[in-house]
Amino acid sequence: MRRDQSAGRVAALRGRLVDLELDGVVITTLENIRYLSGFSGSLGYLLIGRTGAEILGDSRYWLQMEAEAPGFTLVRSGPSHGLWALVAERLKALGLRRVGFESQHLTFDQHQRLSAALPGEHTLVASAGLVEELRIVKTPEEVELLRAVAAIAGRAFDRVRGAIRPGLRERDVAFLLEQTFRELGADGPAFESIVAAGERGALPHGRASDRVLERGDMVVVDFGATAAGYHSDTTRTIVVGEPSTEQARVIEAVRQAQLESMALMKPGVAADAVDRRAREVLAGETHAFGHGLGHGIGLQVHERPFLSPADHTPLRAGMVITNEPGIYIPGWGGVRLEEMVVITDAGPEVLTSASWEIGAG
Ligand code: GLY
Ligand code: MN
Ligand code: MN
């Protein structure tokens, strides 16, 4: 990450520290560490005060931290140095007394170890979601990373769709997709690919199994690629061979719910209102989706805001959110369609690109 990008994000976080009367904050969530500093390894902590910013890590990551997080002072932990004791030592040295911690992430045990190492004049303050709040609106650079990874997944799907035929197993389709993501430049799959054929389509998160595809099967394929820490998430429902009248009808109903709700994905509309619209369109269907209509996506596959009855967040330009209505009929199968949408001042813009053709094989 460019140094100025990291500095801008740290400055925004410091603004929140002032609002909350905190002297500093300990950041432990890997996605938040990456967002603020650029460090992409699997263990490290950030200490951010009103002025200083430090990154703490063990020797596996010193070189990487120096290269990826140049805006942070590197504090090296040695083999005999417990990381929590070191965090406490640095908080004392920096004079940070009221210190926020990521209560949505730090375990009870870690919190106990850190508080045990801190003298009484230091207070740990539960501060959930400070960085997630900043991540909710993407920068133009982040939108481009998401667009790129969605495009890779779309191209992979289009290639694999041509290879789908009776006799393949669900897990073969997942393997081909994931292999193609890498061939096209992704770091790997964003999550375990969902390939759910026939009656298994009624499982909204049906893991790809040994089930063999047969002519006439409707297949829910939910796939995503990841690169540079960003994730994509797309779903297509296809039919092996020609769709039956009922299959085509249900797919069309879900598509209608998606299009009508997506039209509301613009600045100022509340997240729950978008979810509500999709449910209204599917009101006549007995097995319409029980999950939320969508979720923010970025450094995590599921992040704020959520298109759900419980989330009243007003949408803002720069948010990237999925729209994924579905119908799941036990014993028959399921349909889900999913796009990633960036909210712009001019309205919704779809980032995902896989073919819409229903028939395959
Ligand atoms: N692929 C998981 C989801 O759509 O949320
Ligand atoms: Mn998905
Ligand atoms: Mn999704």
Whole-number CA gyration radius for the chain: 23
**Ligand 3 geometric centre to CA of 321 (Å):** 9
- Model confidence pLDDT, tens digit, residues 82-108: 889 999 999 999 999 999 999 999 999
* Closest of 201, 204, 224 to residue 214, by C-alpha: 201
Q: Which atom of ligand 1 is nearest to the CA of 194?
A: 1
**Ligand 3 geometric centre to CA of 325 (Å):** 10
The answer to whether residue 360 scores a pLDDT higher than 90 is no
The answer to whether residue 1 scores a pLDDT higher than 90 is no
**Ligand 3 geometric centre to CA of 233 (Å):** 5
**Ligand 1 geometric centre to CA of 204 (Å):** 9
* Closest of 2, 3, 45, 43 to residue 24, by C-alpha: 45
**Ligand 2 geometric centre to CA of 347 (Å):** 22
The answer to whether residue 359 scores a pLDDT higher than 90 is no
Q: Which of 233, 304, 335, 340 maximizes ligand 1 atoms within 8 Å of its Cβ, making it the mutation to test the pocket? A: 233
**Average pLDDT value over all residues in the chain:** 96
- CA 58/CA 182 separation, integer angstroms: 30
Instruction: Give the model's confidence band at 111: pLDDT under 50 very low, under 70 low, under 90 confident, else very high.
Output: very high
- Model confidence pLDDT, tens digit, residues 323-354: 999 999 999 999 999 999 999 999 999 999 99
Q: Which atom of ligand 1 is nearest to the CA of 302?
A: 5
- CA 77/CA 56 separation, integer angstroms: 7
Q: Ligand 1: list residues with CB < 6 Å.
A: 191, 222, 233, 324, 338
The answer to whether residue 2 scores a pLDDT higher than 90 is no
Instruction: Give the model's confidence band at 221: pLDDT under 50 very low, under 70 low, under 90 confident, else very high.
Output: very high
Paired sense of beta strands 45-49 and 53-57, if any: antiparallel
The answer to whether residue 80 scores a pLDDT higher than 80 is no
Out of 10-14, 166-170, 274-278, 353-357, least confident range? 353-357
Q: Is the dihedral of CA 197, 199, 205, 210 positive or negative?
A: negative
- Model confidence pLDDT, tens digit, residues 193-214: 999 999 999 999 999 999 999 9
Torsion of CA 135, 102, 2, 313, to 10 degrees: 10
Ligand 1 atom 3 nearest Cα: 233
- Segments of 224-310 assigned E as strands: 225-227, 230-231, 234-240, 294-296, 303-307
* pLDDT given at position 79: 80
Q: Which atom of ligand 1 is nearest to the CA of 291?
A: 5
Q: What pTM does this model have?
A: 0.96
Instruction: With beta carbons less than 8 A apart as the criterion, state whether 308 and 324 touch.
Output: no
The answer to whether residue 166 scores a pLDDT higher than 80 is yes
Q: Give me the amino acid identity at 133.
A: E
Q: Which atom of ligand 1 is nearest to the CA of 336?
A: 4
Ligand 1 atom 4 nearest Cα: 233
Mean of the pLDDT values across residues 234-251?
96
Instruction: Give the model's confidence band at 15: pLDDT under 50 very low, under 70 low, under 90 confident, else very high.
Output: very high
- CA 230/CA 227 separation, integer angstroms: 6
